[in-house]
A and B are shown apart, each in its own frame.
Chain A
Amino acid sequence: MPSILKYGLFVAALLATPFFITNAYYLHLVVVILIYSILLLGLDIVFGYTGEVSLGHAALLGIGAYTAAILGWKLGLGVIPAIPIAIVVTAGFGLLLALPALQVTGPYLAMVTLAFGTIVYTLINEMDFLTNGPMGITLQKPLWWDLREYADQLPFFDMSTAKLKEFEFYFLVAFCLVVSLVAINRLIASRYGRAFEALRDAPIASDCMGVSVYKHKVIAFAFSAGMAGLAGALFAYSEQYVAPNNFGIELAIQFLLAVTLGGRKSRVGPMLGAIIIVVLPNLLADIALFRIIAGIVAAVAVVAAVTGWRRAEDKTRLMIPVVLCVFFFAFSLALEKITDFRLSIFGAMILFVVYYLPDGIWGFVRGAIARLRPGMMQAHAMIEAQGDDAHAWSANEPVVDSGKPLLEARAVLMQFGGLKALNEVNLAIMPRTIHGLIGPNGSGKSTMMNVLTGIYVPTAGDILLEGRSIVGKKSPEIAAAGIARTFQNVQLFGELTLIENVMVGLHHTYQGSLAEVALATPRARREEADAQVRAASILRLVGLDHLANEEARNLPYGKQRLLEIGRALALDPKLLLLDEPAAGLTAPDIKELIEIIRKIRDHGVTLILIEHHMDVVMSLCDTVTVLDFGQKIAEGAPAQVQADERVIAAYLGGAVQEAA
């Protein structure tokens, strides 16, 4: 379905809703659903796309709500000016939260956000002078600025007391939601969205593609917090009352449940989740209704189990959820006062989702439809751009052969504890050559790669790229300076498609800012279209253009290595480091690889090649350096190195003489 049609239907449904739901209570519920949708769409950026568990979003909602409430209480400002201010203030707090979050991930980050939530909660409670403490703040719905106090001086300014009716407020919220949706869709489809997923799937590779994990996590948090601020301001005016208890940890957990249950990494999922967490407490308030629903769930589970029984491989695994559902139904019958067990039911739902619906309802539906009618449900936007030979290469002038080394390593020492992984190694890589780096396993080749790309900082020694030292620079800076690499253990962005993987490498070709992306300015569109053509061209070069819209994690091993080379090329590197590109490749694949590497060299890119397949090294390299035990033991033309006694000894073990 084209996206214009989808938007149209959605907007039409939003417009129609208040004409069908005239009951004020239900309309208010719908408003809350829309507000939560805004917040959850923002949470999904952090939770779904960058993969971090945030327990701080209830607090961020609170900050947005209190910003609006305090503006109203102290200054008489109305909802319209409160919205942008709340967004900016909350995004600022998001930046603050991102500060420790930059250093850590996973459980640490979850706890950090939890601590953040607790601090905010405590401060709102304690800072009476600003927040009115546990009593909360009551507020009206003036549109612009409540100036009644000054009514005498400003008799003509009658706008001030204009207040929004519930009905009008609904449209304001609906408008905000649509704007948020558009902005988020554009963000996710842009290089920022790709960067978020890249840093989740392979942070080190992301840094080495010049996409700073640091910077993009901050962007994700700030954007997500801004959405929470918007939701907060609307929430304050929707409830017309804010109090600290509205924004406790329990709510943060509900938000996570909503996104997971609805389905991460989608627009529909968080909105479904919003409906569920708003409607659920109302459902749970009515025990008769709850029993009926539990009964239906149990019946569906039993029917599904009976029909699926023959096909199921592990019958006990199938039985467990069914038994649980039936048990749950029995529990609902035995229950007398449901509100007492509201939280337990809520906890049980989280467990159920974690176990049986890890992709959420929407993920499940999408999967089911994809099985029935392949091609109908795309998890990724299809990129149809066609590539050609001309666009595969950078428009930049290739490096000229000045007779000086492009890269020089001077007495590089890398020490881990007592172990000298690199012992004062000197390297000089001449421009437009292929420089082989060989040696037995554990001899320090990969360590050298990591030192050159800023993953390790050498203990001593210097590294010069075109005469400038790069020691101590971070990986993204080194990538920007022109060094790209592949990894011995392939590090692709698994959940991105092939073409998206390459486009992450093209991150540096964009100039447009975040705002331009959200507004879809002509420049932002043009850059995206250009990048698509280039990415398609690069895929063609490495022979993967027919798989452009497949997810990278589904590729066979050999193709993954080719894709990594393509991704690295997208960086328009001066120097390309290939770490065992031929490992695990079949003989025809290796032939193709050799061709590709030659083409890369012919286009003016200098290469360092770590490889165990000697025929590859011998046929490609201009110079070969041999490392053993962290030391350089030989260097020279391939044939010369191949005949070197020490090299043969290092490779075949001491006993080689008899063998030869």
Chain B
Amino acid sequence: MLQVQNLVAGYGKVRVLHGLNLTVERGQLVTLIGSNGAGKTTTLRALSGMIAPESGRITLGGQEIAGLPAHAITRRGLAHSPEGRRVFGTLSVNDNMLMGAFPRLTGSRPKGDVSADIDRMYAIFPRLAERRLQLAGTLSGGEQQMLAMARALMLNPDVLLLDEPSMGLAPRLVADVFATIARLKEAKTTMLLVEQFAAAALDVADYGYVMENGRLSAEGPARKLKTDPAVRAAYLGAAH
């Protein structure tokens, strides 16, 4: 569904990604793990057009999308729930959801039944249903994360990019987030998940990539990576 070849990207003259290759198959949950500063978030930003890649190919369902602006990529079916949630604070929860469906409501993607989809989201995230008319800026961190995910899903995306959905959440909420991701996977949502909680991410994922310094250092089926001592070392350090 999503294929990346030799992706090179960065900020200004500073290059962060040095030739990245990865693939996400339809219906698959792929996770990208690695330490801070490895380039995970930059990868997602390059995929969704938030930054323009220097070179390399990115195809979404066979269509080349590298170099397109973010809104054009979204309209082609790639949703990105960005790092730090980035909900629209002065819009209500309901309006945030509508924004997620913007391409559907304005005719650049098949419309379907938007209000039914909103109801479906409220079923998945009952906390949001209670607060549908509240301004998103007044939600707690965990609720905002739910909203960011729901908003991205409102696109009915072909591929969903999730950037650190667990960031800054209390442990109980982290478990909730992962439970939700597992449910989305069951519903055959194609996802690329960036996570700092490597073990938890590998638990739910089908396939994993490990990143170090802008390059992939390991990849394989999630189950295998999880028992790989190299992955564990990258996080907690080898015992001295």
Contacts and interface: CB of A to CB of B under 8 A. Distances in A.
B167 A442 contact: yes
B178 A443 contact: no
A441 interface: yes
Which of A585, A619, A629 has the most chain B CB within a 10 Å cutoff?
Answer: A629
Given A443-B168, A584-B213, A653 B200 contact: yes
A617 B237 contact: yes
A642 B174 contact: no
A584 B37 contact: yes
Interface string A639-657: 1001000001111111110
A654 B167 contact: no
B15 interface: yes
Contacts of A320: none
A554 B13 CA distance: 7
Contacts of B168: 441-443, 629
Given A441-B164, A442-B168, A556-B14, A618 B240 contact: yes
A614 B167 contact: no
Interface in A622-644: 629, 639, 642
28 contacts: A418-B140, A441-B36, A442-B167, A442-B168, A443-B168, A556-B15, A557-B14, A560-B14, A583-B35, A583-B36, A584-B16, A584-B38, A587-B213, A612-B36, A614-B235, A615-B233, A616-B237, A642-B237, A651-B197, A651-B235, A651-B236, A653-B199, A654-B171, A654-B174, A655-B203, A656-B200, A659-B226, A659-B227
A648 B214 CA distance: 26
Contacts of A441: 36, 164, 167-168, 196
Interface in B195-240: 196-203, 213-214, 226-227, 232-233, 235-240
A652 B198 contact: yes
A606 B140 CA distance: 37
Interface string B152-189: 00000000000010111111001100100000000000
Given A419-B141, A614-B235, 18 more contacts: A441-B167, A443-B168, A556-B15, A557-B14, A557-B15, A584-B39, A585-B213, A586-B213, A612-B36, A613-B35, A613-B237, A616-B237, A619-B240, A652-B235, A653-B178, A653-B200, A656-B199, A659-B199
Contacts of A658: 203
Contacts of A207: none
B112 interface: no
Contacts of A419: 141
Contacts of A652: 197-200, 235-236
B41 to A, nearest CB: 10
Interface residues of A, number: 40
Interface string A126-157: 00000000000000000000000000000000
B210 to A, nearest CB: 14
Report the interface size class on chain B.
35 or more
Interface of A: 418-419, 440-443, 553-554, 556-557, 560, 580, 582-587, 612-619, 629, 639, 642, 648-656, 658-659
B138 to A, nearest CB: 8
Which of B35, B166, B199 has the most chain A CB within a 10 Å cutoff?
Answer: B199
A586 B18 CA distance: 12
A653 B14 contact: no
A488 to B, nearest CB: 9
B175 A614 contact: no
B12 interface: yes
Contacts of A418: 140
A658 B227 CA distance: 10
A583 B42 CA distance: 13
Contacts of A649: 171
B231 to A, nearest CB: 9
B237 A615 contact: yes
A4 to B, nearest CB: 36
Contacts of A650: 171
A653 B240 contact: no
A649 B236 CA distance: 11
Contacts of A614: 235-237
